[in-house]
Every structure is written in C-alpha cells, then in structure tokens.
Structure 1
Amino acid sequence: MTPNAASASSAPSRRSSPSRRSFLASTAVAAAAVTGGMPLLTACGGSDKGSREGTTSGKEAKKILPAYVASRVVTPDIPSKNGSSMGFTGKLDVDTLKTSVPKKLGKGGKVTVMSPFWGSPPKQDNPYYTSMNDLIGVDVQWRNQDGNTYDQKLGAVLASSDVPDVVVVPSWNMMGKIPSAIISKFADLGPYLSGDRVKEYPNLAAIPSDAWQRSIFGGRLMGLPQPSPSVQSIVPLYRRDVFDKEGYEIPRSADEFMALCKDITNARAKRWACGDMKWTAMNTFGVLGGGEKPLWWNLVDGKLINRIETPEYLEAIEWTRKLFAAGVVHPDFKLGKSQATDPAPKFAAGEFLIWNNNIVHWYGQQASQATQNPDFRIWGMDIWNHDGGDPTLYAQNPAGIFAFVSKKASESVIRDVLAVANVTAAPYGTKEWMMTNYGVEGTHYTLKDGVPVKNDKGNNEVINAYVMVASPAATTAHPDLPDYTKAMVEWEQRMGAFTRKSSFWGLQITEPSRYTNLVNDFEQLEDDIIRGHKKISDMQQAVSDWKSKGGDKLRDWYKKLLDENGPAAS
C-alpha cells in the first residue's frame, strides 16, 4: 500500500528496465526542507515574470509560494529524515480514521481532467469515480490517455485549442516545446494559493514548499504537485531468500559485485545474476543525476560540468558493459526484451536474483508473491561506492508530476479543481486518503486485520486517477508488511546521508528551446554501448558533438544564471 503512488506502482512494472521516466515516476516518498533566501533566476538578461526561459527562486519565489502549514491530523510512526519519506506501520481502523476535509469545498461544477493511465481505464460512471465526486462536491470527468504514449497525446492537445480544464504533466514529458506550452496554456494559481491564501485548502498548505517551488513556471505558480523523494529511488533489489539459502554475501564494491554475479550465474540451470544494472552503476560511480536536464549540471572548481563529460559517467557505462559481456545479465535484458515484457515473473521464479528497480517495487513485488510464493523475500542492497567506500549520491527533485489548470478556466472551475486537490492531498490515516487510494469499503476493498485489501473491482477502478491531481507530503505506508515499510524508509534515510544537492536542484528551469533536444539520443547510446553494439569511443564522439552543437553555449547560459543569482540549495 503506497500512498500517492497508485499511478507509479502500475507504470514502472510496464517499463521494467528503469528508464528516466520510471526513475522519476515514483511519488511514494519524501518531503524536503523549505527553500528560500536566494534571488530571482530568470532568462539571462531579463526578469520578466512571463519569461519562457530560466527559473524563479529565493525572494521572488517566496512572494509566490503558498504558506507552509504542517498537517496535525496524523503523526507518522517514522518521521522523515535526510530527505526520506515518512513511514506509517500501524494498522487502520476505519471507524477511527481522521477527517481532514470537514466540509465539501466543491460547488458542484464539472471539471475535465486529462491524465496518463497505465492499463485499461474504467468507465466514467463507475462507483469509485461517483463516490469520489460526491465526497469532493465536483463532477470530475476523466480523459485518461495511455501513459506509454502520453507524450504524443500531450503535444497534440497542447497544440490545439481544445485543452481540458486540467492536464497532468509528468516531468519526463517536459521535453521540446512542452514547457513553453505550459506557460502559455495554463492558469496562474497564485491568486488562489500564494501566501496565506492556501490556508483555505489545509491539505494543500501541508505540501512541502520544495514541491511548490518546482511548481513555478515562467514566474507564476502554475502546477499542483505530487511531492517526491529528494533521495535516490533506484534500489538494487535482491532475492534475500535465495541469498540466505545459498550463503551469498552482499557486495560492497564493483569488483565484489562482479565476483558475486559470476558465482550466481549458471546459464545451463537457467539462472543469471542480475538485470540491467545501469542506474545502480551510475549511483555507485557517483554520476550526476540522470533525471531532468538541470540536474545533469553541477559547479566543480568554478566550472559547470555536465554529467556526460565526467569520467565517472564513462566508467559506469563501461562497468555495466562488462556485466553484459561476462554473461551474468539475464538474456531478456541483453536482447532488449525487458523493454516490452515484464521481468517480474522471471525474478519471482529465480531466473535472476538482483533487479535494479524503483523503490515502489520493493513492497510491490513482495506483496504480489505473498500468497503463491510464501518463501519469497525481496530486500534492498545499500548503494556502495565502486571502490568499496561510501557512495556519492545526488538528490532528485522534490516533485515530478504536476496538474495544470487551463488558462481559459473560470474562477469557479479553478476553485472546484482546488477542492479536488485538497481531498487528494489528504494525509495517510484520513477518510479522504482512504477513499482516494482504496475507494469504497465493501465495494472496492475489505479490511482484514486492519489492512485494506482491494478486490478485483478495486484493482480495476481505484488506480491512476485522483492521485494524479495532487498528493500529500511523500509517505510510505504498508500496514500489511510493516517490516518492509520500516526497511524502505530506513534505506532512504541511510542513502540520504550520502546525498548531495547539485547546483540547480529543486528549481523548475525552462531551457532555451534551441537547446532542448541536445541530449535526446544519449540514453539510447548508453544502452547500445552497454549491450556491445557501440563503443565507448562513440560516446566520447557524441560528447564532443554535443559541445560543438550547443552544449558549450548551454553551459554558458546555465553559468550566467548561477553567477548572477547563486544556487537554490545550500
């Protein structure tokens, strides 16, 4: 049970090799500290609030950000630390759930929402949708779109005049012209949420300020955020039951990992050590973040360096290539089949024992095997430095999915949207959270010893919908597997102790459009090198081409932002 991650828990399993989008998809975890104190960062040479380039932070952002008022409705069993999620391990009593929205704020209007959806969308008049709409007081009409091809639909809709009242945009879809389209097509929510105005919507006021900072586009507060972890979300998951049985030890260096993989692998017996370990390699070699493009940059000895220019980047790719070359990677990953098929059954069958994946799968895979495979145990390795020391990790942005309201929406529609968000952002342990995440008791789920268990109707209807509008401060809560809740949050806290914030962490930056496609082909090139289809020299040439085609000019653009205003994170 992963609060504010109903969409994420479905999506990554269909993108089984962790890509940039699955890396960002998890919204299961974390609230971070309040930013502030730094001046406005804008496009070089101007401070126009309508600017479509640059970013907004510090004193200017403080004028825009909603006031932060922590929720007192519930208290977590494990408080957030080092950028981790907060954790809840206790079981639930439906009769004693708290109320965070004492009266309906919706005025009965109709609101259309376009959002990515993974799976088969339910009919509009299903009991979950009608019950949620009744709770909120708004008639929400869903225009669900295939999450795997959402970027195509998003581009077409934003280029048209028929923009729904609300459009959900994940950060991994903010490529090309999408950021400037956001600024031109969507409403400024500042008049409704900035400063003390947000207190009309207490659950939105309890969203951490770092997440709201990420919701500022073109100098305006435009997005309703899903808070996400600032700590790393990719975990080297492993079959702990098999490790214990075979006496395998957890590796603490790149060499130990390779030796372990060779020991595990027996192709004749249909057992391989691991899947594609690229993202773990990026972490163990201390490579800058591979999510949104501003995180690719960091100031080192007075010069802005991009992740693709670092020796650590090439070393991580080369080490992952060696894993493939050594024959220790499951053949499905080597052939690229993992992009189209779900490796989970083969992981459960023990065909490979180490799976580089999003933290939501730590719980998800364990829960999915609880009945048919009672001996199954999945656990997470701590990330190690390739040489055996402590790792150097880089923080992820504190929000990665946003809901935007059409600029054409009337005030009544905007307030109805905020009424929806105020319910969906309710914290764990409240009636509103239970309805948002589990639907109607008896119709969509039953409580078994204090644990809500969805039935088939719940699994088909209570997914990918209202959680996409806004979410509470990032939370991990699995009362059915409290040991896993504790382990996941504590893993985040340990990794958070080794996590640094790069120069542009936490800022919503719109690059000049002429540079937006410079690195589009790098992820594919990484994968081609790892699988032996290309060489490291091809990457070195690509980096050289990137510099000459605009990378060096883009560096100057970012450097001017930094020189004039300083970083947002201390």
Structure 2
Amino acid sequence: MPSGSDTGQSRRGFLASTAVAAAAVAGGVPLLAACGGGSDTGKKDGTTTGKDAAKLLPAFVASTVVAPDIAPKNGSAAGFTRAIPSAELKASVAAKKGKGGALTVMAPFWGPPPASDNPYYQAMNEAIGVRATWQNQDGNVYDQKLGAVLASSEIPDVVVVPGWNLGGKIPSAINAKFEDLGPYLSGDKVKAYPNLAAIPTDAWQRSLFGGKLRGLPMPASYVTNIAPFYRKDLFDAKGWQLPKSADEFLALAKEITSAKAKVWACGDMTWTAYNMFGVLPGSDKALGWHLVDGKLVNRIETPAYLEALEWTRKLYDAGVVHPDEKTQNQGDTSLRFTAGQCLIYNNDLSHWYAKTSEQAAQNPAFAMAAMDIPGHAGGAPKLWATNPANIWAFVKKGSSKAVVEDALAIADFTAAPYGTKERMLTDYGVEGVHHTIKDGLPVKTDKGNQEVSSSWLFVASPAPYVAHPDTPEVTRAMVEWQQRMGAHTSKSSFYGMTITEPSQWTGLMNDFEQLEKDIVRGRKKVSDMQQAVSEWRTKGGDELRDWYRKLLDANGSAAS
C-alpha cells in the first residue's frame, strides 16, 4: 500500500493512497490493529447531465437493511459505532444472483497479491454464484498496465479504472471498449440489484462516460477529505488553543516550534491552505472551473490561489515547517507526527483512525484530532465539494448478457451495507478461517491478513460510511467533522460530472503542481506563477475555457 506521506506525493499519488487507505480501513485492516473510438462510442469528449442524464441514471432506493448510529448529514458519511454480532447480521442479497459463469477481473493492488485460488476468493465466488479470477496489478504502475491492456484485444471481462488514471487516451478507450450498462441499470431496472439501487445518484452521475452509463462506482463523501490533524494530547497538556484564522495559525506555529528540541509546528500545509482560502479543488480538472459573475474562471486565476501559496510560503520562511518537508521526499510526515517532531499535518481523514489504532499500544497517551478548517480571515471557511466517486469498474464491450449479469451480481454483493452478512464476508472473510471474534469485534487471523483483499470493493461499494467499533469515539468524531465541514461546502459548476477534455488541452496543467511546490518552498516566486497562468491562457487555457462554457451552456450545471 502506498505511503501516507503528503509532502513528496503528487495529487495523483495521494488520491491513490487515500482511496486504498479508505478501502483498507473499511475492511482490509484488523479492527484491533494494536493487537480507440468506433462509430458507436457516443460522445468522445464532454459530459452528460440534465434531461439526458436523467434517462440514464438508476433510480435511487435508500437501503433500510441496517440503520446507522450516526445518520449522514451535509454530505458526510454515515457512522456506525458498534460491532454488530454475527447472529444479528442481516442479508441484503435475497438470493444468489450469479449464474456460475467464469469471468476475469483486473484491478490495482498494493503489496503482494494473494494467490488467485485462495479460500477467501473461493468463499466469495461461492456466495455470489460466480467464478471470478482476479488479475491483480501493481497499483503504483497501474496506469501503464491499463493503457497497454486497453490498447490490446485481450481485455478482461471486468476492469477497474481509478479516476487518477483518467489521462491520455484512457477516457476515449473507456468509451470504445466498455459496455453500456444502461439496459441493465437505468431507471427502475436497478431495483433488481437493491444494493446498487442504494448507491447515491451523484456517484452514478460520475459514472456516465461518453453519453452512456458505463461505470460501477465506489461512492465517496463529497466533503473535503483533507483534514488538518493535531496532537491533541500535547495541545491539551500545553494549553494551546486551536487557530481560528490564517494569522492565528502562523502565530501558533511560531509559538509551538522549538528547533533546538527538534519539534516543529507542522508539515507542508499547502492543501489546508487551499481550503482555508477557499480555493477551488485541484484534485480534478473539471472541479477547478466555476462560473463567477457570468464568467467561467479556473482555480489558478483566482486571487485565493495566490494568497494560499503566499501564506504557505510564510510558514516555510518562518521556520515552523519540519525541515525534511522542504526537500519533499524525506520520509513520511505522519511518522514525524506520531514521534512528536511535527505537531500538525494534513492528510486523508482515514488517518484519524489508522494512526489512533496504530499508536494505542505503542503510546497509550497519544491522542490526535482534526481541527475545524478556519476561514483565512476568521469565521467559516469557503469549502468546495470533491468528487462523489473516483473509482469505477467497467464491463468489457461485447460481453454476453450472462457475463454482464454475473458482473452485476458481484457488484450488488460488494455494495452491501455495513451490518450485513455480505459486507462481513467481503471485509473479513470466513469466520474461524480469516477472522475470529474477540470482545465482540472481528479480528483478522494471519490467514485473513494474507488472503482477504479489498480489491472486491473496487467493483462497487455502498454509500460512504465510517465504522470503527473498536474506537467508537473516533468514528463519531470523524463523521461529525465531516458534517461541520459539509455545512460550509459548495459545489462548483461541474460537480459530479465526468468530463473528457479534448486531447489537445489535456497537458496544459501538467507543470503547475511542481511550480506550487517550488513557490511555497522558496525556490520560485509568486510572480512565476502569475507568468505561468498568463502562458496557460495563451497556450490554450482561454480556448479550453470557451469549450467548458459551451459544455455548461449545453448541459447545465450539476452543482447546487
């Protein structure tokens, strides 16, 4: 699995690591860790919304199988604070849907993949009624494998495509090489698959490619997943107050830094700066555009973007950022955080549970929390929604009805909600073989850690939820943080759309991320960014703006 470090990663690498971390924390890590387009490809670029999308999207039928302990609100995940005893687990799939067919599934995998015929895979296949053979590929170079496979004639029956791999020719290949699932799932047809019907509509909207419903989504909360974590145990002991503005953050950082004691206030805080200053998202090209006073503006053109970079640079200039962060590739920020060398860092919200669980035995006094993101001038922040799905599974074009239905049988099973027999088997394998029950909680055995694969979640997943019954207080804190941040979250003009940009403009933004890193670390000037933005406009940015504007005028906005 990729490192959780933020400082040396690209946005693409971070998205990969956090998606896998979220999947792993949901089910792949012990709860007691301390113990080419043809004529029928449809639209080759653009998107589908409004009335056209309404005809394609599956009906939504909320799941009532298990009620969460904390209901979702403001775009948050649902929360489950208790383990549900095995005897109380409910069935969400009334009857085995698979027809016994054989199919191949290609997905990214981080770490040594389990044997393809292991007892966990056998148990899943038996429960679903299929004979799935997994072709797990190295997640770190998955884009290369994906490109090669899609360019060939040997495409597996089901292929997982992460959003961070939607570059180059892959979007057009998706339109050309994968099946339209609309005849099986659009409208009321999805009701034959109750767990798929319970997937939020926003996630299905993101699954429209080339004017067709092609993807099976892994839904996510649209609330920002970047949380500024702090060492609550040390803050409480010292009486330090959480900052309520950008200026207060800098003042606090200076106060708590002691280079002589090898303690620095924070890691690189660029991503938190973007949230504090209200910068449009950079995790997806389309999300970075927004209609402002009648003009479509890109995130890099906004004053907030430059202000966020300038503020982050002040942190480096003040000497409050751990010195290893300046070179970007010097280890894992989260390790410096748990060691007490760095008191604040930002990363995916899933770190809250992962690090708390990890430190429970090593340092019982350890406590961390996520501070509420303040507005840069004080008051509430202006946050922007992220994508409601960013990983999909696709079925090979030309597949027989039987293969498509077997793929959907897998998806309906793996999209089962928490508290069901299907979810328990998917996340923990067979009781007595892959996990045991200790103090009411499922704990993976060594065999479970070796064999149980979170790759199944990539075929399809339920509506987002957080369930860590071994640390119910962390579960509640995570969900409530999302709810508070969600109350200040808006959706930009292309929220929820999967957009394929024309190929001549896909590389326009390639150099900006490195320039951002150079500016905050003092290697480049803010004026260099202004020059880069000017060049971006003349090299195609203005033309791209016009293209997006036509798209917006033709399709309308999915934002609210």
TM-score (norm 2): 0.93
Tell me the residue number matched to 1:154. Answer: 146
Tell me the residue number matched to 1:408. Answer: 398
Equivalent of residue 535 in structure 1, options 505, 508, 525: 525
3-state secondary structure, aligned to 1:465: helix
Which consecutive residues of structure 2, in runs of 5 or more, have no partner in the other structure?
A: 24-39
Tell me the residue number matched to 1:241. Answer: 233
Tell me the residue number matched to 1:84. Answer: 76
Asked if the contact 1:424/1:436 (under 8 Å) is kept, the reply is yes
Which string of whole-angstrom CA distances, capped at 9 and with x for unpartnered residues, describes residues 412-446 of structure 1? 11111111111100000001001111112222222
3-state secondary structure, aligned to 1:238: strand
Mapped partners of 1:460, 1:252: distance in 2: 45
Equivalent of residue 167 in structure 1, options 159, 168, 193: 159
Farther off after superposition, 109-118 or 20-29: 20-29
Deviation at 1:540, TM superposition (A): 1.1
Asked if the contact 1:68/1:206 (under 8 Å) is kept, the reply is yes
Deviation at 1:325, TM superposition (A): 2.0
3-state secondary structure, aligned to 1:517: coil
Asked if the contact 2:290/2:296 (under 8 Å) is kept, the reply is yes
Mapped partners of 2:449, 2:338: distance in 1: 21
Farther off after superposition, 483-492 or 445-454: 445-454
Which letter does structure 2 place at the counterpart of 1:70? A
- The alignment status of 1:475 with 2:465, answered yes or no, reads yes
Mapped partners of 1:553, 1:566: distance in 2: 19
Equivalences for residues 38-437 of structure 1 within 5 A: 50-338=42-330, 341-437=331-427
Mapped partners of 1:438, 1:336: distance in 2: 36
Tell me the residue number matched to 1:42. Answer: none
Asked if the contact 2:102/2:131 (under 8 Å) is kept, the reply is yes
Mapped partners of 1:14, 1:149: distance in 2: 18
Aligned CA distance change for structure 1 residues 18 and 238 (closer, same or farther; 3 Å): farther
- The alignment status of 1:558 with 2:548, answered yes or no, reads yes
Aligned CA distance change for structure 1 residues 455 and 334 (closer, same or farther; 3 Å): farther
3-state secondary structure, aligned to 2:354: helix
Mapped partners of 2:144, 2:240: distance in 1: 45
Mapped partners of 2:41, 2:293: distance in 1: 32
Which letter does structure 2 place at the counterpart of 1:401? I
Mapped partners of 2:462, 2:494: distance in 1: 24
Tell me the residue number matched to 1:39. Answer: none
Aligned CA distance change for structure 1 residues 76 and 453 (closer, same or farther; 3 Å): same
Which letter does structure 1 place at the counterpart of 2:297? I
Deviation at 1:566, TM superposition (A): 2.4
Deviation at 1:460, TM superposition (A): 2.9
Farther off after superposition, 456-465 or 191-200: 456-465
Q: Percent identity?
A: 63
3-state secondary structure, aligned to 2:60: coil
Mapped partners of 2:128, 2:2: distance in 1: 26
3-state secondary structure, aligned to 2:362: coil
Mapped partners of 1:378, 1:26: distance in 2: 21
Displaced runs of 4 or more, over 6 A: none
Farther off after superposition, 289-298 or 20-29: 20-29
Query: Cα RMSD over matched residues?
Result: 1.7
Deviation at 1:17, TM superposition (A): 5.5
Which string of whole-angstrom CA distances, capped at 9 and with x for unpartnered residues, describes residues 239-295 of structure 1? 111111122111111111111111222222221111111100000010001111110
Farther off after superposition, 218-227 or 264-273: 264-273
3-state secondary structure, aligned to 1:236: strand
Asked if the contact 1:190/1:220 (under 8 Å) is kept, the reply is yes
Equivalent of residue 445 in structure 1, options 418, 424, 435: 435
Which string of whole-angstrom CA distances, capped at 9 and with x for unpartnered residues, describes residues 68-97 of structure 1? 111111111111111111111122201110
Q: How many residue pairs are counted as aligned between the two chains?
A: 541
Asked if the contact 1:113/1:166 (under 8 Å) is kept, the reply is yes
Mapped partners of 1:455, 1:16: distance in 2: 34
3-state secondary structure, aligned to 1:413: helix
Deviation at 1:356, TM superposition (A): 0.4
3-state secondary structure, aligned to 1:273: strand
Deviation at 1:12, TM superposition (A): 5.6
3-state secondary structure, aligned to 2:76: coil
Deviation at 1:332, TM superposition (A): 2.4
Mapped partners of 2:124, 2:6: distance in 1: 29
Deviation at 1:331, TM superposition (A): 2.3
Mapped partners of 2:464, 2:481: distance in 1: 15
Tell me the residue number matched to 1:506. Answer: 496
3-state secondary structure, aligned to 1:492: helix
Tell me the residue number matched to 2:30. Answer: none
Mapped partners of 1:563, 1:343: distance in 2: 44
Farther off after superposition, 231-240 or 100-109: 100-109
3-state secondary structure, aligned to 1:67: coil
3-state secondary structure, aligned to 1:458: helix
Which letter does structure 1 place at the counterpart of 2:556? G
Mapped partners of 2:119, 2:6: distance in 1: 29
Asked if the contact 1:26/1:228 (under 8 Å) is kept, the reply is no
Asked if the contact 2:3/2:332 (under 8 Å) is kept, the reply is no
Which letter does structure 2 place at the counterpart of 1:525? L
TM-score (norm 1): 0.92
Which letter does structure 1 place at the counterpart of 2:145? K
Mapped partners of 1:443, 1:529: distance in 2: 53
Farther off after superposition, 367-376 or 215-224: 367-376
Mapped partners of 2:332, 2:396: distance in 1: 36
Tell me the residue number matched to 1:40. Answer: none
Which letter does structure 2 place at the counterpart of 1:494? R
3-state secondary structure, aligned to 2:4: helix
Mapped partners of 2:257, 2:15: distance in 1: 27
Asked if the contact 1:23/1:234 (under 8 Å) is kept, the reply is no
Which consecutive residues of structure 1, in runs of 5 or more, have no partner in the other structure?
A: 1-9, 30-47
Tell me the residue number matched to 1:3. Answer: none
